Amino acid sequence: MSAPIVNRRDLEFYLYEMFNVESLTNRDKYQDHDKTTFNGAIDTAQAIAEKYFLPIRQKVDANEPTFDGEKVHLIPEIKAGNDAVVEAGLSAPAADYEMGGMQLPLVASSAAYAYLSATASTSLGYLSLTNANCNLIEAHGTQQQIEKWVHPMRAGRFAGTMAMTEPGAGSGLADLTTTATKDAQGNYRLTGSKIFISGGDHDLNENIVHLVLARVKGAPKGVKGISLFIVPKFLVNDDGSLGERNEVALAGLFHKMGGRGQTSTALSFGEQNGAEAYLVGEENKGLMYMFHMMNEARIMVGTSAAVTALTGFQYSLNYAKERPQGRLLSCKDPESPPVNIIEHPDVKRMLLTQKAYSEGAYALCLYGNQLADDETTALTSEERLHAKTVLDFLTPIIKSWPSEWGPKANDLAIQVLGGHGYTNEHPVEMFYRDNRLNPIHEGTTGIQSLDLLCRKVPMNKFSGYNAFLAEIEKTIAETTASDKLSEYSKSLEKAVANVREVTQQVLGAASSTNPDLVFSNSVSYLNMFGHVTIAWLWLKQAAIASQALAGNIHVDEQHFYQGKVQAMKYFFNSELPLTYHWGNLVKNIDSTAFDTQTEWL
Amino acid sequence: MSAPIVNRRDLEFYLYEMFNVESLTNRDKYQDHDKTTFNGAIDTAQAIAEKYFLPIRQKVDANEPTFDGEKVHLIPEIKAGNDAVVEAGLSAPAADYEMGGMQLPLVASSAAYAYLSATASTSLGYLSLTNANCNLIEAHGTQQQIEKWVHPMRAGRFAGTMAMTEPGAGSGLADLTTTATKDAQGNYRLTGSKIFISGGDHDLNENIVHLVLARVKGAPKGVKGISLFIVPKFLVNDDGSLGERNEVALAGLFHKMGGRGQTSTALSFGEQNGAEAYLVGEENKGLMYMFHMMNEARIMVGTSAAVTALTGFQYSLNYAKERPQGRLLSCKDPESPPVNIIEHPDVKRMLLTQKAYSEGAYALCLYGNQLADDETTALTSEERLHAKTVLDFLTPIIKSWPSEWGPKANDLAIQVLGGHGYTNEHPVEMFYRDNRLNPIHEGTTGIQSLDLLCRKVPMNKFSGYNAFLAEIEKTIAETTASDKLSEYSKSLEKAVANVREVTQQVLGAASSTNPDLVFSNSVSYLNMFGHVTIAWLWLKQAAIASQALAGNIHVDEQHFYQGKVQAMKYFFNSELPLTYHWGNLVKNIDSTAFDTQTEWL
């Protein structure tokens, strides 16, 4: 039996039981939809994944893009698969009809995408970056820019990228040096170098639309002097046809440990007269616009990490069910047949841990999608504001938790397969390599942790922080009297109280102490908050499962819900206690790292 | 500045301050040696590493061995490097003179090997497996077997392997099916398939000597019916010249995520008339003999994991010292120049963590080497027995702790380099891939954890367990009154008391409860015991450092010792508290994994 790409029953649990997407059909935007259209989108995605991507999953990895000095070459199967995605309307299933989308709620769109992402996480990046690029121009560009750039991108003719990182700056955007010069006519010419530009060059589309951060000559130093430009690979005539090659040159490809379906490029802009560049919005507001894309990209990164963990879990689960080896400790008869390895308690532990990490991470990402949806389509302005407030707060956790714990799930998938998992007989070693990028790109875990603790927590008088903890406390109140859940509800209550205490102490210290010291344990803070968040999502899942188990249901359904309860128990017993350890380091302002002089290392 | 392969000052700290190898020169075996010869061996290893291996470190990874259907091909630089190692007498520096070795104490030999292993961990595997093979035949073979097989292996003409794993059995050696048939003349013919045989075929040597586990026809079932055979690729005439090809066929190569310098092979024995095979020792005692090799191989695996962590630490440390990016939180001036990333507290944390993991792991491996040495060369039989007792007990920890935490150090090395670390511009992503094998081969972490808790702890009335804890308690007694260390000494005392309590409770429960349940948290037990062991080794290092710091020493030396103290503090503050969490799971016989029905997953 081959492993399912992801667990379909589980996807439907999220959609219809946990996030209740059917209830969204009372919103104007989604009035055409119902369970049939949601399931239809997922069916289509599954069919494309099985037909185009699953058969070449490891081939893509083994044949990274090449550059012959003139052109980039990908294996042709990538284009065939991506074209099928675009033709099915799945390149941006949440986009409006007029933009060529299916106008699906984000949670449903994300569930459909799970099949594609699990089989083609990296080659699909060309489409998802294009989508994010379109969303940004739609939000901040002019009508003319939307027609010229977004329409052909939505139609699959053009692709899009985001170009931020520079060789000398990395995560330090304040120091970027790419320069735009404005001429007398008000046109911009851009020069500079960018690195790690995903999809920065390839042969999948007619044209590539780069969104580039640059500094207009004379702009203020630091992040306040950064503007955003559209810089196409080929200029485009007014009738939409391609014009001349713009001054955007591929300086080289990076060779990555994973994610080998997608080119990572070094680009050189304007080597002669400067590349033609079109300002988006106003000068010096580029970083704010880019954050629009980046916040979306951060949720995308989290989701990709979660889905890679989900598919690794399913793969190793299937293997463990079929692979006989060894006997239980309780068996003293060497003549008895070996058991399937899933029977070994330590293998169960590794599978249950993967389930808790991957499904917990995925529930978090879908929750983020729900908030992103509510932010724009909820019926009242209070609900919209509430969703925006919580999502802004949670974004660093949605980005980081799946990125940190998803790879740990993939690590266990390898371990379940043992020596076989270390070879390319099976895809689990590829999942492990692919997933390793996620704690790095779109802001490292360290950067996310500072964003959470120093910005998001105190922002607007702690409004996001308090609004989110109130959500957790609502679930605690709903479960505290339940026979089956009360124990866990109380555990979570205690853990939340600890979060509040730790937060108060560390931010209290910030007023009088060197911020470099006070915030030096920010990653522990992120770990603590992330684990409490995931524990909450598991308690919610277990509450739904407990209710279902109280009814008269089919045995397969019983197993499914028991699995949810068991993964919750695992998370509360084996993971939640760690939050006190991390909290102590933060609360006590542990200075071990801060005190370390560089010469001591 | 290029990164040091490993920290030479640190190696000398272990040799001369912590493990005091100079004191061994009063043993007959080592009477020719002194600090000069020890340093000479290290110098030679460093020179070979820098000349032959460092320049091709990533080339070896990028050019894995190929099989053209007839022969295996490696890039020629591997042979050049390995030949240089053999010529310098470094292929088995601890072997006796008469066996072609340098008769070095194991701790010194291991320190020299660190340079080789850090630059060529996988291609060097051909030599280290050969060495382990020789050691086994020397211990359990006949004089004739030693002359025929060991001498040419020691001379570098032949290579050796160990062939245990089978496609249907994996870690379950009890189920192996490779069969040896004895004819009327008492000669054996062997048939069967083996997989994951490292170095199972290659073109580096004239001949390959496989040590193969097989079942003699009619032998008892299970592990009690396993015998050990020498099965050469080419038969060898009495004059030492090569004879006919034996029936050992390469069925294929595995393609691994890392360790790509070394072939991992599927071998087919005796496809026609059976392969000629020569029994080692007695029938049905094969597993016992193989454990001789396996225990040595387990220490080797731990050491390789530790050294890969050490070299990744040095690489990322060097990078962090030279790479400017971003500003400290306390800096509000965007016009100020960026700082080197080592100044960022979270980067310091990632470096200090790597230091604590890698140097802690390496100290553990050297301690294992010291015990292995004392087991055979200590002056009194009490000391020899004591060393053997402690080493037998500790072997699963020496194998597993570096293998589990070494890759975590390498993970942080990637994170320090950010996007650059994810590409082959730098070797850290390779270290991460290479190191991922170590928790799998020579017995997975799960198997080691059961070996520790179910066998090694209660073995011989807890003699190894008690002897080892007594060593820890000796250090506690020596440090408890120290101004600087008392706090940590008391922490460790508490942690050891917790280990004793957890052990008593879990083994107490074993008498009345299903062993599958009681031992289901064995990995948590291993984690707990491993962390206490490493905390002890850090306290020992900090004690030496504190004493040195009390003297009048050069500022560079002050920095070095401060680093030791700081890494100890990190381990005690950030890692040791986790042992209580793991201990609770074990002590409370947490049944979450055990209770999980396979259908729930």
Which residue in chain A has the smallest CA separation from B598? Answer: A342
H helical segments located in A141-173: 143-145, 151-154
Q: What is the pLDDT of residue B95?
A: 86
**What band does A98 get if pLDDT is binned at 50, 70 and 90?**
confident
Q: In chain B, what residues touch A591 (CB-CB under 8 Å)?
A: none
Smallest Cβ–Cβ distance between A516 and the set B254, B345, B562 belongs to: B345
Q: What is the C-alpha R_g of chain A?
A: 25
**Contact criterion met (CB < 8 Å) for A329 and B355:** no
pLDDT at A494: 98
First to last CA, chain B: 51
3-class DSSP assignment, residue A235:
strand
Cα A508–chain centre separation: 32
Q: Of the candidates B422, B559, B596, which has its C-beta nearest A440's C-beta?
A: B422
Residue A432: list chain B partners with CB under 8 A: 257, 436
The fold of the B285-443 domain, in CATH, is: Butyryl-CoA Dehydrogenase, subunit A; domain 3 (1.20.140)
For residues A560-594, b (16+ Cβ closer than 10 Å) or e, as one string?
bbbbbbbbbbbbbbbbbbbbbbbbbbbbebbbbbb
Shortest alpha-carbon distance between residue A412 and chain B (Å): 11
Per 3-state DSSP, chain A is made up of helix, strand and coil in percentages (nearest 5) of: 60, 10, 30
Q: What is the mean pLDDT of residues A320-338?
A: 91
Q: Which DSSP category does A219 fall into?
A: P
Determine whether domain A285-441 maps to CATH 2.120.10.30.
Answer: no
pLDDT score of B100:
78
Which chain A residues have a beta carbon less than 8 Å from that of B569? 592
Average the pLDDT over A335-364 and give the result.
96
Give the pLDDT confidence score for residue A99 in this predicted structure. Answer: 78
> CA nearest B170 in A: which residue?
A325
pLDDT beyond 80 at A172:
no
Q: From chain A, pick out residues whose CB is under 8 angstroms from the CB of B429.
A: 256-257, 436
pLDDT interval class at A312 (50, 70, 90):
very high
Report strand pairing: B207-216 vs B158-163: parallel
Q: Tell if the CB–CB gap between A171 and B325 is shorter than 8 Å.
A: yes
Q: Which residues from B are below 8 Å from A344, CB to CB?
A: 446
Inter-chain touch A592–B562, beta carbons under 8 Å? no
pLDDT at A535: 98
Residue of A nearest to B589 (CA): A573
CA distance B9 to chain A (A): 12
pLDDT tier at A100, thresholds 50, 70, 90: confident
The tens digit of pLDDT for each residue in A10-48 reads: 999 999 999 999 999 999 999 999 999 999 999 999 999
Q: 2.40.110.20, 1.10.10.10, 2.130.10.10, 3.40.50.720: which CATH number matches A158-284?
A: 2.40.110.20
C-alpha torsion angle, residues A13, A18, A22, A28 (rounded to 10) = -140
Q: Which of A242-246, A532-536, B90-94, B360-364 has the lowest mean pLDDT?
A: B90-94
- Please give the pLDDT value at position A221: 87
Phi-psi region of B100 (alpha: psi -120 to 50; beta: other; left: phi over 0): left
Crossing angle (nearest 10°) for helices B522-549 and B381-417: 90
Mutate to test the interface with A, among B194, B329, B331 (most CBs of A within 10 A): B329
Alpha-carbon distance values, A94 to A373, A385, B368, B524, B599 (Å)? 10, 21, 59, 44, 35
3-state SS assignment for residue A155: coil
Confidence of residue A204 (pLDDT cuts 50, 70, 90): very high
| Selection from A515, A175, A516 nearest residue B336 by Cα | A175
Burial of residue B481, with CB atoms counted within 10 A of its CB: 0-12 exposed, 13-18 middle, 19 or more buried: exposed
What distance in Å separates residue B61's CA from the closest CA in chain A? 12
pLDDT in tens, A142-159: 999 999 999 999 988 999
Quote the CA–CA distance of A141 and A154 in Å, as a whole number: 15
Angle of CA points B508, B511, B516, to nearest 5°: 100
Structure letter (DSSP) for residue B338: P
Interchain contact, A441 vs B419, CB within 8 Å: yes
- Beta-carbon separation of B345 and A569 below 8 A: no
Residue A449 has pLDDT above 90, yes or no: yes
For residue A255, how many other CB atoms are within 10 A of its CB?
15
Confidence of residue A539 (pLDDT cuts 50, 70, 90): very high
Separation CA A461–CA B552 (nearest Å): 53
> How many other C-beta atoms can be found within 10 angstroms of the C-beta atom of residue A184?
5
What is the sign, positive or negative, of the torsion defined by CA atoms of A561, A564, A567, A573? negative
φ/ψ bin of A227: left (φ > 0), alpha (ψ from -120 to 50), beta (otherwise): beta
Can you give the pLDDT at residue B317? 98
Cβ atoms within 10 Å of B456's Cβ, excluding its own: 22
Run means of pLDDT, 10 residues per run, chain B, 601 residues: 94 98 96 96 97 95 93 93 92 85 93 95 88 93 96 93 87 86 94 95 95 95 93 96 97 95 95 96 94 86 97 98 93 88 97 98 98 96 97 98 98 97 97 98 96 97 98 98 96 98 96 94 98 98 98 97 98 98 98 97 96
The chain B residue lying nearest A339, using CA atoms, is B172
pLDDT digits (tens, 9 = 90+) for A261-280: 999 999 999 999 999 999 99
How close B384 comes to chain A (CA, Å)? Answer: 33
A589 CB neighbours in chain B (<8 A) are: none
The answer to whether B334 contacts A454, with C-beta atoms less than 8 Å apart, is no
| Chain B residues inside the 8 Å CB shell of A590 | 573-574
Would you call A326 and B515 a contact, using CB atoms and an 8 Å cutoff? no
Q: What is the pLDDT at residue B173?
A: 80
Kindly state the DSSP code that residue A324 receives in the 8-state scheme.
B
Predicted local confidence at residue A430, as pLDDT: 98
Q: Which residue of A has its CA nearest to B577?
A: A581
Q: How far is A375 from chain B (nearest CA, A)?
A: 31
In a 10 Å sphere around its CB, with 0-12 CB exposed, 13-18 middle and 19+ buried, how is residue A1 labelled? exposed
What integer pLDDT is reported at residue B293 of this predicted model?
80
**Is residue A171 predicted with pLDDT exceeding 80?**
no
User: Is there a contact between A172 and B327 if contact means CB atoms under 8 Å apart?
Assistant: yes
- A574 and B559: CB-CB below 8 Å? no
Give A254's contacts in chain B (Cβ within 8 Å).
Answer: 423, 425
Q: CA of B21: how far to CAs of A592, B394, B533, B560, in Å? A: 32, 21, 21, 20
Residue in the structure block whose two tokens are 């032959």: B52
Q: Which residues of B touch A592 (CB under 8 A)?
A: 352, 566, 569-570, 573-574
What the block records as the tokens of A501 is 């205490």
Neighbours of A117 (CB within 10 A): 27
pLDDT band at A49 (very low <50, low <70, confident <90, very high): very high
Task: For residues A506 and A323, give the distance between their C-alpha atoms in angstroms, rounded to a whole number.
Answer: 50
Q: What is the pLDDT of residue A318?
A: 98
Inter-chain touch B172–A327, beta carbons under 8 Å: yes
d(CA A27, CA B194): 62
DSSP B337: P
Map B159-183 to HEC letters. Answer: EEEEECCCCCCCCCHHHCCCEEEEC
CA distance B134 to B128: 10
Residue of B nearest to A451 (CA): B329
Fold annotation for B8-123: Butyryl-Coa Dehydrogenase, subunit A; domain 1 (1.10.540)
| B71-108 confidence digits (pLDDT tens) | 999 999 999 999 999 999 898 888 888 877 899 999 99
Q: Using alpha carbons, select from B199, B205, B180, B191 the residue that is nearest to residue B284.
A: B180
Interstrand relation of B275-279 and B188-198 (parallel, antiparallel or unpaired): antiparallel
Chain A residues whose CB is inside 8 A of the B255 CB are 423-424
Task: Supply A239's token pair.
Answer: 């009738």
Is the pLDDT score of A117 beyond 90?
yes
With beta carbons less than 8 A apart as the criterion, state whether A409 and A417 touch: no
**For chain B, what is the mean pLDDT?**
95
* Closest CB from A168, A516, A569 relative to B329: A516
- Using a CB-CB cut-off of 8 Å, the residues of chain B touching A322 are none
Please name the member of B338, B349, B522 whose beta carbon is closest to the beta carbon of A593: B349
List CB contacts (< 8 A) between B520 and chain A.
345-346, 348-349
Q: Measured between CA atoms, how close is A114 to chain B, in angstroms? A: 19
- Are the beta carbons of A596 and B566 separated by less than 8 Å? yes
CB pair distance less than 8 Å for B440 and A429: no
Q: What is the length of chain A?
A: 601
Residues in chain A with CB shorter than 8 Å from the CB of B592 are 352, 566, 569-570, 573-574
Q: Model confidence over A354-374: pLDDT tens digits?
A: 999 999 999 999 999 999 999
Sign of CA dihedral B226, B232, B233, B234: negative
Nearest to A125, CA basis, from A96, A154, A160: A160
Contact (Cβ atoms closer than 8 angstroms) between residue A355 and residue A10? no
